[in-house]
Amino acid sequence: MNVIETKNLTKFYGKTRGIKNLNLTVKEGEFFGFIGPNGAGKSTAIRTLMGLIAPTSGEASVLGLPLGQCREYLRDVGYLPSEAAFYNDMKVRELISYSAKLRGVDCSSEADRLCSCLELDTSKRIDSLSLGNRKKVGIVCAMQHRPKLYIMDEPTSGLDPLMQKEFFRLLRQRQQEGATVFFSSHVLSEVQHNCTRAAIIREGSIVAEGSIDELSGTSAKRVVLHGVKEIPAGIDGRSVVSGDDSVSFLYQGDIKLLLRELSSLPVKDVNISDPELEEIFMHYYQQEGR
Amino acid sequence: MLKTLLKKQMMELGAFLYQSGKEGKRRSKTSTVMYALLMVYSIVMVGWIFWLAADALCEPLVSADLGWLYFAMFGISGTVVGVIGSIFTTYSGLYRAKDNELLLAMPVPPSKLLFSRMTVIYLMSLIFTAVTTLPAAMVYFRTTGSAASLAAGLPVAAMIALIALSLSCILGWLIGLVSVRIKGRGKNAIIIILTLAFLGGYYYGYSKISTYLQLLIAGGQQIAGTIKKVLYPMYQMGKASEGSFLSLLIFALMSAGFFAIIYTLVSRSFMKIALTKTAPPKSRYKGKNMKKASVMKALLRKESMRFTGSSVYMLNCGLGTVMLIVTGAAVVIKSESLLALAQLAEGMLPAGTSALPLIGAAVVGFIASMNDISAPSVSLEGSSIWVVQSAPVSSWQILKSKILFHCIVSVPPALICSACIISVIKPVAADGILMMLFSAAVVFLYAVMGLAANLKMPNLKWSNETVVIKQSFSVLISLFGGWAVIIVLSVIYFVLGNIVRPVVYLACATAAIFAAAAGITLWIRKKGTEIFRFL
């Protein structure tokens, strides 16, 4: 079952592009990463799925229900916005309880467990919390009712590395219990380490989607040549990095052509490997002049 | 769910009474009592004005068997007061609340959220309406001894507040629709024009009230017939106030029906308006030479952007600018009748040479106090205050820019108004110059007074800017403090008028105001900057 599905989903703010013909599929039980730099359209896509923005055109469904019925599926969604606006005059436990009451459920024991895992002091007032602790409050509010789907917009920003680890542990636990996780990030390593699948968004559209292995093993290869400082003239390489006695570049094309070109150069050593997700990401972003 | 939402809304509504805006902690009992007393005093004072009006109208209208018309008039007044009292909160409270997105991302039905927000506005309307209609009911009871009319007072006020809420929501909805379609500062301009047109219409009607009263006395029955036809609900409201249970039922059904229509209309577009975030249009960067600007120019620009970027700020704290210019124009246009009125007022002052320049200066001073731009300016920095605190500029430069901006917006219209008054009353040169100086001095005083009050009582933890613009103590001090300055100066003149010539008094008053303003400025520079640095 597709938990999230969008078909040509488009959102323009007047003449400003938010997302354009976004086609995305997230299957049940997946841990899905949504990667893109600032302004690529990640938050717009997420806010549209949450029913917080009306799309300009296109279709989308969440948990099998169309966007028009978002009030129904929101019961089963745990949402963490990138910048949550909380009530500064409330205490942490009051806010968590308020969030639960608005969902009409009693999840105090789960809230206590999550607060304990995330080392969150519930007696403090919201306005006295640091950015990281505010983020933890948002995480507890989004997870305490044990939803079927987690939609999280840059959830780890502000969290220290230990808490990031704990947060992903909690999410993986939920995923193993059958929940689906969809989160946006521009930290590629966390997507690579935690996700089963990912999509790369560029200027409002998906430019690559697949499993992490598929994305990493895309036809692009990282080529490192020792003994030369420049890439061969007939080779179209990207992300070129020149060293004292070496050159490294991403190559996407006929491997025979590459080998033929290399044979005519004074190459001492060659290393061809699958690039890191980060390199793939950069590869897509450097296309079309970026 | 609704109970939870309502509880939160009620807590926010009542928080200003028992919670310190600065620390968010509970106020001391003394402070809470002082706040409560201030509120009660304000309500009693407004109620007293309507009591006087009711006292004048009740007897003649009851004698003419037009008791219902008497109530209908106060019902209409109550509706207008209720709308005016809640109009600014409606748009910001319904559509621009910071937690709209937080709540709408949860399975909270928008209708329940809207209802909870409307309930708060309704309670505000009810207070404003009751202040108008309850004195009328009490005066009627004193005149006629009708206990039924007294008992009907509160339910009728509740129904009128519902009508006021509905009207207020219509305007808030229109503003919301405008803001969805128009972006940037053009939106603020339209909101201000809409609101000023509404207020202008209200004040025009208010200024014609004596004419209407004369007409009412001359042709009461005829007017009553017209109101009965044109404003049938108000006829029923009048009859209900007299004690008719059937009319109370009809009026209740009418007001509830009207509210239901408006609620349906507003709820249909609530999500769209509440969640519309207009992105600024993309602009292509055009390379051009950088212009070197002074620090003060940059800070003034920041203050100006803040002011013109918020229609709520402009309307609540900058209305004096419009009023000063309108008053100046009105003085010139209605010079003859106003001069006669001023001379009448002059006759009540201690004997001596012409006191018209004093009256003119007092008028300008009174209206200029409607501008309290500096009073919420520190609070409006909100959680972003660190931006200016960490900028490579001194605290004094930041605070000076706030004073200067208040003066830039307020001094020119005050001078224009003074010039208009001078052109009509034609005082001697010394009086004219002093009037102009007084105008500038009094604006300067209001600017520093508001800023000092805000430094002492800042609120940087607001979730809705309306809270600091409309409900903060510094704004209250600035507004009432301005009036108090003029009242104190007038009282002193009443005492000393026989021994001090008006021109001498005006010179002394101007000097005293300048001295007071300079003193407060010195305090801001020495202590205020320290307070600001550690906010």
The predicted-structure confidence for B20-65, as pLDDT tens digits, reads as follows 554 556 667 777 788 788 778 878 888 888 888 888 888 888 888 8
In tens, the pLDDT along A15-28 reads 788 899 999 999 99
For residues A158-162, average pLDDT: 90
- B93 and B166 part of one domain: yes
Is residue A289 pLDDT above 60, yes or no? no
Structure tokens at A114: 């999550």
* Residue linked to tokens 């239901």: B260
B235 or B89: which leads in pLDDT = B235
Share of chain B above pLDDT 70, in %: 87
**Percent of chain A at pLDDT above 70?**
93
Residues of A in contact with B183 (CB under 8 A): 14
Residue A33's pLDDT is 93
Claim to verify: residue B373 and residue B511 sit in the same structural domain: yes
Residues B208, B302 within the same domain: no
Distance between CA atoms of residues B351 and B498, nearest Å? 6
Are A98 and B275 an interchain contact pair (Cβ–Cβ within 8 Å)? no
Kindly state whether residue B30 falls inside one of the protein's structural domains: no
Question: How far is it, in rounded angstroms, from Cα B424 to Cα B439?
Answer: 17
Chain A residues in contact with B15 (beta carbon < 8 A):
89
Neighbouring-strand partners of residue A27:
A2
Q: Are residues B334 and B256 in the same domain?
A: no
B379 & B433 share domain: yes
Choice between A216 and B360, residue whose per-residue pLDDT is larger: B360
pLDDT band at B361 (very low <50, low <70, confident <90, very high): very high
Starting at the earlier edge strand, list the strands of the sheet with A149-153: A77-80, A149-153, A180-185, A31-35, A197-202, A205-211
Chain A residues whose C-beta sits inside 8 Å of any chain B C-beta: 13-16, 18, 50-54, 71-72, 74-75, 79, 81, 84-89, 98-99, 101-104, 125, 127
Residues of A in contact with B8 (CB under 8 A): 87, 98
3-class DSSP assignment, residue A223: strand
Average of pLDDT values for A187-212? 86
Is pLDDT above 60 for A101? yes
Q: What is the pLDDT of residue B209?
A: 60
In a domain, B287, yes or no: no
Residue A277 has pLDDT above 70, yes or no: no
Instruction: Answer yes or no: do B210 and B333 share one domain.
Output: no
Contact (CB<8Å) B278/A13 = yes
- ipTM tops the 0.85 cut: no
Does the structure show a pLDDT above 90 at B188? no
Length of chain A: 290
Q: How many CA atoms lie within 13 A of B33 on its CB side?
A: 3
Point out the domain boundary residue: B275, B308, B340.
Answer: B275
Fold: same for A2-216 and A221-274: no
CA A283 to chain centre: 17
pLDDT: is B286 or B213 the higher one?
B286
Q: Specify whether B329 is located in the same domain as B220.
A: no
* CA A256 from centre of chain: 35
Q: Report if residue B447 sits inside a domain.
A: yes
Partner-chain residue, chosen from B8, B107, B461, that has the shortest CB–CB distance to A88: B461
Checking if the pLDDT of A40 tops 80, the result is: yes
- Evaluate if residue A173 carries a pLDDT over 50: yes
Say yes or no: B429 and B332 in one domain: yes
B217 with B60: CB under 8 angstroms? Answer: yes
Let me know if residue B487 belongs to a domain.
yes
Do residues B493 and B415 touch, judged by C-beta distance below 8 A? no
Is the residue at B208 inside a domain? yes
Mean pLDDT (chain A, rounded):
86
Determine the pLDDT at residue B216: 65
Q: Per the structure, how many domains does chain B have? A: 2
Residue A64, φ and ψ in degrees, nearest 5: 80, 0
**Residue numbers of the domain that contains B367:** 295-533
Instruction: State the pLDDT at residue A213.
Output: 74
What pLDDT shows up at residue A129? 87
Q: Of B3-12, B125-134, B354-363, where does mean pLDDT reach its minimum?
A: B3-12
CATH of domain A2-216: 3.40.50.300
- The highest-confidence range among A78-82, B177-181, B230-234, by mean pLDDT, is A78-82
Instruction: Please tell me whether residue A242 adopts helix, strand or coil conformation.
Output: strand
* Residue B319, pLDDT score: 86
User: A256: closest CA among A242, A272, A267?
Assistant: A272
Please judge whether B108 and A102 are an interchain contact, meaning their C-beta atoms are less than 8 angstroms apart: yes
Can you give the length of chain B in residues? 535
| B6 and B104 in a common domain | yes
Mean pLDDT, range B450-467, rounded to an integer: 84
Among B24-33, B224-233, B409-418, B422-431, the range scoring the smallest mean pLDDT is B24-33
Residues B191 and B308 both lie in one domain? no
Same domain, B150 and B194: yes
Mean pLDDT along residues B187-205: 70
Domain ranges of chain A: 2-216, 221-274
> Is 3.30.70 the CATH classification of the domain at A221-274?
yes
Given this model, what pLDDT does residue B22 score? 47
The answer to whether the CB atoms of B279 and A14 lie below 8 A apart is yes
Could you report the per-residue pLDDT of B252-307, keeping only the tens digit for each?
Answer: 999 999 999 988 888 888 887 777 765 454 556 677 777 777 889 989 999 998 88
Is B191 a residue whose pLDDT tops 60? yes
Q: Model confidence over B68-103: pLDDT tens digits?
A: 888 888 888 888 888 877 776 787 778 777 788 888
pLDDT at A6 over 70: yes
pLDDT at A290: 42
pLDDT score for A44: 92
pLDDT (tens digit per residue) in A62-95: 999 998 888 889 989 999 988 777 777 788 999 9
Same domain for B159 and B248, yes or no, is yes
Give the pair of three-digit tokens for residue A185.
């990030």
Q: Is residue B346 part of a domain?
A: yes
